[in-house]
Amino acid sequence: MAKPEQLLHMEYSEIMQKSYIDYAMSVIVSRALPDVRDGLKPVQRRTLYDMHELGIRHDKQHRKCARIVGDTMGKYHPHGDSSIYGALVVLAQDFKMGLPLIDGHGNFGSKEGDNPAAMRYTEARLRKVTEDAYLADLDKDVVDFVPNFDETEKEPEVLPVRIPNILINGAEGIAVGMATSIPTHNLSEVIDGVIAYMKNPDINTAQMLEIIQGPDFPTGGIVTNKDDLLEIYSTGTGKIKIRGKVEIEKLKGGKQAIVIKEIPYTMLGANIGKFLNDVYSLVEKKQTTDITDISNQSSKEGIRIVIELKKGADAENVCNLLYKKTKLEDTFGVNMLAVANGRPETMGIVPIIRHNVDFQYELCTRKYTTLLQKERDKKEIQEGLIKACDVIDLIIEILRGSKSVKDAKNCLVTGETKGIKFKSDASKKDASKLKFTERQAQAILDMRLSKLVGLEIQALMADYENTMKNIQAYSEILEKKSVMAKTIIKDLKAIKKEFATERKTVIDNLAEVVYEEKPIEEIDVVVLLDKFGYARTIDVPTYERNKEAADKESKHIIFTTNLSKLGIFTNEGNLHLIKVLDLPFGKFRDKGVPIDNVSKFDISKENFLLVEALDNLKDKKLLFGTKHGMVKLVEGDEFDVQKRTTAATKLGDDDELLCVYVVDENDTIVMQSKSNYFLRIEAMTIPEKKKGAIGVRGIKLTKDDELVKIHYITEGRNKTVTVKGKKISLNRLHIGNRDTKGVKK
């Protein structure tokens, strides 16, 4: 009889909290963070193990990456081919990895951020160092194997990596609520650090940094804050300042060029393009006039970015400008977070090495325990074969007299002679004394007669002596920690000798760069803004030579200086500020730049009401008028603010700004409503308010009526409008009082 269903009552928030924590831990441990023991994320570990299983060795032919990715996804990592191929590509990039683990064949991307070719085009194989230091001894039970996602395969829980890969290759990963960022280090120095720790487990961070100088980035560069490294490597967190390496080269004609030969690690990829754009921007914004050209001449041989300077330029000062204003000097955020004992932990350099050394002792113990057992099994068989050679005639007699292999084997193991025919009672008596083990008996039965040749017997005796030596050596390694330590150190030195590389990154203490910014000379300019929203600046003589065309083509013409700001007042009640220096300065026929590219002005939603330089608004009054008839005067100085976008006025519900005028004495305004009511008042009679105020009522409007236009009438000038086919001269309208209905036309 089936049990009745049970309902479990749980708080919804508790279920969500538990589910989120489970998900977060899954991402942390199974996806994003490396294990401190082998320094690999699961996708990297699975890719390397799959290549090992496929037999793609360093001395074998390259295999298609698509094959590797498909096999890895089908067997071990069911999370999509892009993540696997992405990990495979990075493992092969010598400009990202301190020690590349895969030998890539084909387009695997570049320092400039070029994408790798599709996996169907590229090929790969393991590197020798990966086989020797990362995958060796997998057949010796050195690590635990766990079921894969569908329990059809077994995969290693961790690879038997014999060096601190987490330091050598570093790590980057974003998990849930945490992230890791570990710089790369020099293989030779890290191995020396491990050996130093094994000889002195009480070594501190300062002593360790005498051996491991600091990060060693594949891109080289210079670490400029050496004194901060002690704190960073003690706590596992901090910021490393890195600077590109530059040289000053002489060109023809007495000119010089700044040549960047090494870049900060953080500039890899798209940031090289951003660096070039930043340099262009410095030139466009007139922050330097010393740069005449920039070119990226980088190739497979290395980075080479050439910045040509004009004759007489101060190259050192330009370098300092690049350090200050671009990514040529940057910071690498360090957060040495890794999974240790199943949980994420931030560690300094000594604890990381301690975890690695403990792992090496575990690997060594399991390896030599397995080897010792194999040698003991071999010893047992060898002793049986040697003993069998001494009584070979008796064994042959047993085999010839036995009815079955089972009877013969039983006789060899237990001495049971029943059912076996012997030539004499003496032979039967000797056979009853035989006491071979099961394994020895099977080896005797499997032995070929050719093994009885004299030389073969001598070889057997030599193998036995070698086996005894191995047993003694392995036992000593397992019994004495000092001997095991020497064995590990010997292996580490062999890896260092074969695969060590010279340090690329310089570690130093460099003073903060000081850039002496030359003051920009103030000149009079004319800002031209056309109806399409494109703005540019020209000097006054250029404007005067092209005045007729400029007045015809431009919607707004502002006379100001190159150091001032432009204020754009819009119908939404906003004020957008633009530095005149942000606008391109040049020839009259230059196109200019869209105004929304240098400000937060949205040309699709807002309309220009007034464009004026803030310098021109000092000691002036601005008149604001809305479609609901609200008006006010505001001091121009109130708009000299720092924010790029601010509220120029306060608007009521569904209200819209109709006009912003700079007003003078004796000028008037005419408010025109949708119902054709007109009211003319003196501009200076409107009350003065702050920019945050709504204002006062300028005209009494009937229900459903609203203003459609506010006309500004300067003294001595006539302005007409047409209403129902009839022309009305606005400057002839009677000047009335504010907040009246006006006259209907």
Question: Catalytic annotation on 280?
Answer: no
Is-contact 634 621, C-beta < 8 A?
yes
- In the chain, DSSP finds a helix count (H) and a strand count (E) of 20, 35
Rounded (5°) CA angle 314-320-325: 125
Helix (H, G, I), strand (E, B) or coil at 552: helix
First vs last Cα of the chain: how many Å apart?
95
- Extract the tokens encoding 358: 């403990």
| Nearest to 371, CA basis, from 659, 43, 140, 587 | 140
Q: Quote the strand ranges of 531-656, DSSP E.
A: 534-539, 554-561, 565-570, 574-579, 593-594, 608-613, 621-626, 630-635, 645-647
Say which amino acid occupies 600: K
For residue 207, with 0-12 CB atoms within 10 Å meaning exposed, 13-18 middle and 19 or more buried, which class applies? middle
Tell which residue, 220, 214, 320, 330, has the closest CA to residue 266: 330
The per-residue DSSP string of 116-181 comes to PPPTTT-EEEE-HHHHHHTSTTGGGT-S-EEE-TTSSSEEESS---SS-HHHHT-EEEE-SS-EEE
Q: Distance between CA atoms of 565 and 578, rounded to whole angstroms?
A: 5
Q: Which of 121, 368, 515, 534 is catalytic?
A: 121
Q: Please, which residues have CB within 8 angstroms of residue 743's CB and are 6 or more apart in sequence?
A: 677, 678, 679, 733, 734
d(CA 437, CA 444): 10
Q: How far is CA 3 from CA 6, 615, in A?
A: 9, 86
Q: Name, in order, each residue with C-beta under 8 angstroms of 676's C-beta and a sequence gap of 6 or more.
A: 723, 724, 744, 745
Cα separation, 658 vs 672, in Å, equals 11
For the record, the structure tokens of 656 come out as 């819209």
The residues carrying an active-site annotation are: 121
